[in-house]
Structure 1
Amino acid sequence: MSAVAVHRAVLGDGRPTLPYAEAGPPEGKPIVLVHGYVDSWWTFEPMLRRMPSALHAYAPTQRGHGDADKPSDGYLPEDFATDLVAFMDSVGIDRAVLVGGSSGGVQARIVAGRRPDRVAGLVLLGVPAELSDKPGVTELWDTVRELEDPVDRAFAKDFARGMTAAPIGRGFLETVVDENLKAPARVWRETLRGLLETDLRSTLSGILVPTLVVWGDQDTLLTREDQQTILDTIPDSRLLVYEGAGHVVYWEAPDRVLRDLAAFTADRT
């Protein structure tokens, strides 16, 4: 098992301070794990604990989430993408493979398209091409826009449970829910609003770095056609289908994700 160290990155220029987890030997190839909606670095804990010696992982918690600073604004995908580059600057990462989980892949691909000099490769783990066309997301928005503090724990638990095809460990589920509840209602609301009001398909254009797309065929949120849109738009991309896995493949199959990630990263510098 790999040791996981937790630090804080001061982004400067009025930007928030972000906690981040780090795992893997310093000589490993750098990867940055970018979490999705209302998660924190803890969402990648199953991977971080198993990090192979070939990889050196950084997993920041984004603004408004977990134990990160919670400014009053700045919750558009573009804001998170700008923070991501500032995070890399803060911890001294010149170039890395960006690994986006769920909606975290949106800001990761924005950076890949705009700053290819900083991105050796892009991995999208259950990342949508578009969200505004998903009935489940529309239903979620109807609830989230009415949320008040404190966010109801039963709602957050049901939300987390819906991310996998098979039940996840009770202890890990409770940790995920605890982390989700650290985001105030306004962050749940403004982050989802930003995802719905942004033209997400446009964030796929201009990406020329090698890209690995991973999708679980039991994902109740994203369809194969949605993932095909990503493949059709990013020239150097390929798809891996995880049979029997749901939306958050890195909870259900962390060892497989790491094997595929290590293989993909082996030829990137």
Structure 2
Amino acid sequence: MSEAELSTTPLPVLGPSVPPWPGKEVLVRGGAVFVRRTPWTGPVEGGPATEAPRERALYVHGLGGASTNWTDLAALLAVRFDGWAVDLPGFGRSRPPARGRYSIRSHVRAVVDVLEHVVAQPGTGEERLVHLVGNSLGGLVSLLVAALRPDLVATLTLVSPAMPVYRVPPAFSRALLLLLVPGVPTLAERRLAAVTPDENVRSMVRMCFGDPGAVPRERLEQAVQEMHERAQQPWADRALARSMRGLITSYLRLGPANAWRAARGLRMPVLVVWGGRDRLVDPALAPRLAATVPDSRLLLLDGVGHVAMLEAAESTARAVLGMVEGRSVEPGVAEPPAVADGPRSVRP
């Protein structure tokens, strides 16, 4: 484990209201998911674009989030990456999975399918490894994807990943433990449906940000609008309740957890990013996870909460670029993909 190195690469200056990136549906096993695309821009400062590094990245959001959580970070990293951000099944603009299952395993399958789609796209970076970035639930899913399909992943960035622990975070309502009781998720769905979009956004901001008062007004307005759109989806509350049940189950699972075993087996460079004021996943897990991964670097952000890619986008971007720049074999070219040895037997 080492301390994350921050890149000095010039980054674009973003305004407070960068609009969400456009996207389209991508076919995956069991249906389709909505994927937003952030095109590569090249360096901020001049120079021949043909000599500039151009690689690919996939961003995976957390529980209750969406691909729009990556708007700012993807814009900053566009100096090096063509970016894709997925709405997991049942979230954002993605419809629910065909069989209505919201298990970690089903999310892993969806992300693997999107990764294969990204790798196969024609143009610069075709058939090369992809830089995978995940937050919270999406971080847990991304870790398992990287362990299962290392032939697809160049580097892995984990922003406050929801690693299995043996207790429920204090920020979680004790009433949510009822989600573990068979049949109760339906009641939870009704309770979630009774929360207005405005109340939902205020609650999420209080839980997820280290300094809720610093969130720009434009971002809050965008979040409320997104929540209003999500409230019109008949499957939205079920997707959240069922996915939350799976996540809480992982917190209470006894014995060795698959995710920790998977972390020990990772061989690609891994960046662990954590906010010191994370109320949802204990920041004490950060050094533990970084120490578990063989080739890791750690970035701890004082005063930041659970969503560093939103609250500290530039610091997160510089840490990602620092890791990637440290592994590049030559300017403008990503490392060639490793020889695929087939899916590993990691069971999400």
> Shorter-chain TM-score: which interval?
0.7 to 0.9
Aligned pairs for 1:190-269 within 5 A: 190-198=242-250, 201-204=257-260, 205=262, 206-266=265-325, 267=327, 269=335
Aligned partners of 2:116 and 2:152 also within 8 Å: no
> 2 CA distance for matches of 1:147 and 1:30?
37
Letter in structure 1 aligned against 2:154: A
In structure 2, C-alpha distance between the alignment counterparts of 1:248 and 1:140, rounded to whole Å: 24
Give the deviation of 1:39 after TM superposition. Answer: 1.0
Alignment-derived partner of residue 189 in structure 1? 241
After superposition, residues 158-177 of structure 1 pair within 5 angstroms as 158-166=203-211, 167=213, 168-177=215-224
SS of residue in 1 equivalent to 2:257:
helix
Q: Alpha-carbon deviations, 1:161-202, whole Å to 9, x = none? A: 321112311221232344356161111110111112245931
* Identity rate, percent: 23
Q: What's the TM-score once normalised by structure 1's chain length?
A: 0.88
Q: Which consecutive residues of structure 1, in runs of 5 or more, have no partner in the other structure? A: none
Q: Rate the CA distance shift 1:174–1:265 in 2: closer, same or farther, 3 A.
A: same
Please state whether the residue corresponding to 2:268 is helix, strand or coil.
coil
Q: Kindly state the Cα deviation for residue 32 of structure 1 after the two structures are TM-superposed.
A: 0.9
What is the aligned-residue RMSD (CA, Å)?
2.6
Instruction: After the TM superposition, list the runs of 4 or more consecutive aligned residues in structure 1 that deviate by more than 6 angstroms.
Output: none
Deviations, residues 108-138 of structure 1 (Å, cap 9, x unaligned): 0011111111111111111232255123335
Counterpart contact for 2:21–2:68, Cα < 8 Å: no
Distance 1:97 1:19 in 2: 16
SS at match of 2:92: coil
Distance across 1 between alignment mates of 2:151 and 2:74: 26
Q: Is the 8 A contact 1:121 1:211 kept in 2?
A: yes
Q: Which amino acid aligns with 1:159?
A: M
**C-alpha separation between the residues in 2 aligned to 1:155 and 1:13?**
31
Aligned to 1:39: 65
**Structure 1 residue 22: deviation in Å?**
2.1
Q: Residues 128 and 227 of structure 1 are in contact (CA less than 8 Å); yes or no, is this contact kept in structure 2?
A: no
Unpaired segments of 5 or more residues in structure 2? 1-11, 43-52, 122-126, 180-184, 329-334, 336-348
For the residues of structure 1 that align with 2:30 and 2:164, how far apart are their CA atoms? 31
Greater C-alpha radius of gyration: 2
Name the residue aligned to 2:46.
none
Total equivalences in the alignment = 269
**Pair 17,248 (structure 1): closer, same or farther in 2 beyond 3 Å:** closer
SS in 1 for 2:31: coil
Answering whether residue 110 of structure 2 is matched by residue 90 of structure 1, we say no
Letter in 2 for 1:261: V
Q: 1:238 & 1:201 partners in 2: Cα distance?
A: 22
Equivalents in 2 of 1:237, 1:125: separation in Å? 13
| CA distances 1:68-118 after superposition (whole Å, capped 9, x unpaired) | 112352311111111011112223264211111122101100111111111
Deviations 1:129-164 (A, max 9, x none): 225512333537258742323543213431233211
Distance (Å, rounded) in 2 between the aligned partners of 1:56 and 1:140: 42
Q: Is 1:20 matched up with 2:72?
A: no
Q: Does 1:80 align with 2:107?
A: yes
Are 2:11 and 1:11 equivalent residues in the alignment? no
Q: Secondary structure at the match of 1:36?
A: coil
Q: 1:158 to 1:131 in 2, by over 3 A?
A: farther
Match of 1:64 in 2: 90
Amino acid at match of 1:152: T
1:109 paired to 2:180: no
CA distance in 2, matches of 1:103, 1:42: 15
